[in-house]
Amino acid sequence: MISRKSSGQGTPYPYLTLNISHLTLKKIVLPAFYIFLAMVVIGVILYIHDRLTNKPSDSQDEIVVPTEQDACSDDCCGAHDVCPSEMMLKHINDPVEYYDDEELDAFKGRDAGDYSDDELEQWRDVLYTLRHDELLAWERSIKKRGIVMPDVIKEELISMHNA
């Protein structure tokens, strides 16, 4: 019980004290201990049940962490939902498709930085005539033909695809 105790020892405010004489070990500590013990027993039972019912089996999917060899080796631009290498493998048997860009076959074997301004304009002439749904297929076609796309054109392709 809370009782009000006034002190005549110079304290201006009476204060509340908790009279714990009626609270015994039997009334508070033992019930709390029993509740704690019940929670521990229930926890152990649930742990054992979980271990018995969730046995690892061959049918469960395992998490596979790709190694550096498994990782995509392309310069991934982020414009694709699937790694370009995987897309290439998926369409490996498809015939090469031309998008009125046969003149780009002359650039086969060139590095991405070895293009003049006039040659970049040839790339742009083809790129800006493509529909949005043809962009990734055109890029795939360029790679199948062994042509390396200039970095500037690749950036423009990405921005067009993301637009």
pLDDT in tens, 48-92: 999 898 866 555 555 555 444 444 545 555 555 556 556 555 566
pLDDT of residue 35: 93
Task: Give the integer Cα–Cα distance in Å for 5 and 17.
Answer: 7
- Per-domain residue ranges of the chain: 22-53, 84-162
Q: Amino acid identity of 16?
A: L
Task: Give the integer Cα–Cα distance in Å for 64 and 129.
Answer: 42
Task: Give the integer Cα–Cα distance in Å for 99 and 88.
Answer: 18
pLDDT in tens, 141-162: 888 888 888 989 889 888 888 8
pTM of this structure: 0.45
Furthest C-alpha separation in the chain: 107
pLDDT of residue 104: 86
More confident residue, 14 or 109: 109
Residue 77: is it exposed, middle or buried by C-beta count within 10 angstroms (0-12/13-18/19+)? Answer: middle
Taking the alpha carbons at both ends of the chain, their separation in whole angstroms is 72
pLDDT of residue 160: 86
Q: Confirm if 1 and 22 have CB atoms less than 8 A apart.
A: yes
More confident residue, 142 or 42: 42
